[in-house]
């Protein structure tokens, strides 16, 4: 971020403001962690801050400090709309294009509030007065730490704020293993523990709270795993019937795509999840090395994300979507076999 932007933001935040903080639709650990971390920080400046998520999110994220203050646009639409209409500032976190907020797209793009973007995805849209966009960052949470640091306020990071930031760095780095994890990431993590983030408790709360049926669904997904050896690719499908059989709850499919990538020799993994209510197949793509699933998703699956983790969707049936995936693989064979 430019020095002048930082001093302008410092000036802006020097008196109490009405602030709305929004992450992307289907918020994940980084989306919830970063928005709540910023929320805790802004409360210390006597601002009236509200975190507003487009739709509901998994139970394994519902313990994070400040969770009870979150408004869900899908359920509390009127309250959310009036807060957006009267907001002085809207922070948009962990996304960079309004369509990523689903039903909130129009009210956000029509709002006259000043927008501040903090995000680590590629190709940001040009809507923010102050844009802090850095694709080299592990997570939006790591950026929120830097943001508070640039404002000279790390002393204001308490145990709750530290916990929120820890959650997003941990989930977006696959527990500190992805390439985006740097020595700086670990330095920040060390400071967060110093400030009171209970690392062991955070890991348990996120990863060791599976339901029995959630694990049975994982078993079903693994039995659907297929490999395309000539493309060093693997994919998993889950039909709506299978989701129903295991009493699917939001979050139960989180991370399943990574099992494909854990196969020896596989560098591209996909999961195709049928969503009859939305009438789409939700797609997650993961890769190793330089193979860009962001580009693959933008080219074929109406989505995007990062080089090694992207999402998208398909309006075809589950079977047709899988066929489409298989049919495009040969055009990537050279790139996939060079990884």
Rounded to whole angstroms, how far apart are CA atoms 235 and 284? 10
Specify the residue for token string 């704020």. 161
Whether residue 140 contacts residue 30, with contact meaning beta carbons closer than 8 Å, is answered with: yes
Residue 135 neighbours by CB under 8 Å, 6+ apart: 120, 121, 122, 306
Interface characters, 24-53, with ligand 5GP (x: CB under 6 A): x-----------------------------
- Sole window of 10-18, 103-111, 137-145, 289-297 interacting with Mn ion (rule: CB under 5 A): 137-145
For Mn ion, how many residues bind (rule: CB under 5 A)? 4
From the list Mn ion, ligand 5GP, none, which binds 303 (C-beta under 5 to 8 Å, kind-based)? ligand 5GP
Start-to-end CA distance of the chain, whole Å, equals 33
Residue 37 neighbours by CB under 8 Å, 6+ apart: 141, 144, 145, 161, 164, 165, 168
Cβ distance to ligand 5GP smaller for residue 66 or 312: 312
Name residue 52's beta-bridge partners. Answer: 71
CB of 339 to ligand 5GP, least distance (A): 19
With CB under 5 A as the contact rule, the residue among 13, 19, 23, 30 that binds Mn ion is 30
For ligand 5GP, how many residues bind (rule: CB under 6 A)? 10
From the list Mn ion, ligand 5GP, none, which binds 284 (C-beta under 5 to 8 Å, kind-based)? ligand 5GP
For 28, the token pair is 């994940």
Site for ligand 5GP in 286-315 (CB under 6 A): 303-306, 309-312
Rounded to whole angstroms, how far apart are CA atoms 151 and 158? 16
Cβ distance to ligand 5GP smaller for residue 45 or 102: 102
3-state secondary structure at position 279: coil
Cβ distance to ligand 5GP smaller for residue 6 or 316: 316
For 300, the token pair is 């074929």
Q: Which residue is nearest to ligand 5GP (CB)?
A: 311
From the list ligand 5GP, Mn ion, none, which binds 24 (C-beta under 5 to 8 Å, kind-based)? ligand 5GP
The upper half-sphere exposure of residue 150, i.e. CA atoms within 13 Å in the direction of its Cβ, equals 18
Position 254 contacts Mn ion (CB under 5 A): no
What is the binding site for ligand 5GP (CB under 6 A)? 24, 284, 303-306, 309-312
The contact set with Mn ion (CB under 5 A) reads: 30, 94, 140, 172
């Amino acid at each position: 971020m430019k020095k002048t932007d930082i001093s302008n933001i410092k000036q802006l935040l020097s008196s109490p403001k009405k602030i709305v903080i929004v992450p992307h639709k289907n918020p994940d650990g980084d989306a919830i962690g970063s928005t709540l971390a910023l929320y805790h920080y802004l409360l210390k400046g006597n601002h009236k801050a509200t975190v507003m998520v487009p739709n509901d999110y998994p139970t394994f994220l519902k313990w994070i400090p400040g969770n009870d203050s979150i408004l869900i646009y899908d359920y509390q639409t009127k309250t959310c709309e009036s807060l957006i209409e009267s907001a002085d500032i809207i922070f948009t976190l962990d996304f960079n294009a309004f369509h990523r907020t689903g039903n909130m797209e129009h009210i956000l793009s029509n709002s006259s509030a000043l927008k501040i973007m903090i995000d680590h995805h590629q190709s940001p849209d040009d809507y923010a007065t102050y844009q802090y966009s850095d694709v080299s960052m592990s997570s939006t949470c790591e950026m929120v730490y830097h943001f508070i640091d640039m404002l000279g306020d790390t002393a204001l990071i308490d145990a709750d704020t530290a916990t929120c930031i820890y959650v997003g760095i941990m989930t977006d780095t696959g527990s500190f293993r992805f390439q985006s994890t740097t020595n700086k990431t670990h330095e920040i993590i060390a400071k967060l523990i110093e400030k009171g983030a209970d690392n062991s408790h955070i890991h348990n709360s996120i990863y060791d709270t599976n339901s029995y049926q959630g694990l049975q669904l994982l078993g079903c997904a693994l039995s659907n795993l297929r490999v395309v050896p000539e493309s060093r690719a693997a994919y998993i499908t889950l039909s709506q019937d299978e989701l129903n059989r295991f009493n699917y709850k939001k979050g139960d499919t989180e991370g399943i795509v990574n099992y494909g990538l854990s196969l020896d020799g596989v560098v591209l993994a996909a999961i195709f999840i049928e969503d009859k209510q939305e009438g789409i197949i939700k797609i997650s793509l993961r890769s190793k090395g330089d193979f860009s699933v962001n580009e693959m998703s933008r080219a074929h699956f109406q989505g995007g994300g990062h080089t090694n983790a992207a999402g998208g969707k398909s309006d075809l049936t589950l079977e047709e979507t899988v066929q489409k995936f298989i049919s495009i693989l040969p055009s990537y064979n050279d790139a996939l076999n060079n990884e």
